[in-house]
Chain A
Amino acid sequence: MTGHAQKLEVSSLTVTGDGGRRLLCVDSLTIAAGSAVVVRGPSGAGKSTFLYALAGMIAPETGQIRWGETDIAPLPEPARAAFRRRNMGFVFQEHLVFEELSAPENAAIAALYSGRADRGRIRDRAAAELARLGLDGVGTRRSDTFSGGERQRIAVARALAGGPGIILADEPTASLDRDNADRLARDLVTLARTEGRTLIAVSHDPALHERADRLIDIVDGRLLEAADG
């Protein structure tokens, strides 16, 4: 079930919010498979909305979102969730982990709702990713006993546990201190690159900008290619 890096093609995408407000408008965008892209922009510009649309968490009003051969825009919600489950790992701005569960349980959360055949693989990979992120041997401590940086690394391990070809991250370093942010930025990009995953991260963190293959700016829901892309 390990997904492989996938090319992204977006065309005539519009996302409308409550009250008919236009939140996002993308005429055309192509991201090569296996590249690391960072999205920037002022607060409220529509960066999260963009990422959620790419992940299929919101249904766009018009347009196409083609990951490899699959256009997820017209799919119904359960199919989009299934696509996400198989092909994507998502890291949120805040370290959203289940506090009562241990680090391995959190990282392998997908095992709880995946087919019996995949469970063992998810658990093994979650353990391996935790080890790679320096969180092996933490035992069964509840996750709320971990620091913010550690929790965000648990979240990264969780995003990678399914072996996804696509990693989406929404301001993953925003709630971390400098050292932890640097470390996470380095880890994210390395982990994406070593196995040839496509990484799209929303971030203001220069540590991530430096490592990106390409920078995209969003202003008022419209994409602008950055000069140094």
Chain B
Amino acid sequence: MHRRRFLTLTTGLLGAPSVLRAAEDDTLKLRALYAKDGGFSDLARDLEGKGLTVEGYMAPPLKADSTFFVLTKIPMSVCPFCETEAEWPDDILAVYTRRVYKVAPFNRRINVSGTLSLGSYRDPDTGFLSLVRIEQARYSYA
């Protein structure tokens, strides 16, 4: 508990804007990982290879019974007005879970914990490229 507060404090001092942090503990917002120009943020570079928790929404899965899903910053909704093509794919995060996961409703906020991995990676199964990933992940409802 103390350790946790200490971590939050030091990362705060290191310059990560504290507004990017969730109200309590060290859950990150998705956009904290991206810089304005679409690249990785400094925080993301700091956390590369380390454990972290990111909050977001599970996009409807492309595959059933898989260990891969896409985390989005807002619900990947059936609302055709709030999603413009331009926003894709900068605010999404590829999540590789350690076990076959249960699909969460697209409008439930979830916290994904795992190891941050940066750099381009082409999934051998789906053929899709990703730049930022959380690996060895598990999720819980926020």
Consider the complex of A and B and state whether they touch directly, i.e. have CB atoms less than 8 Å apart. no
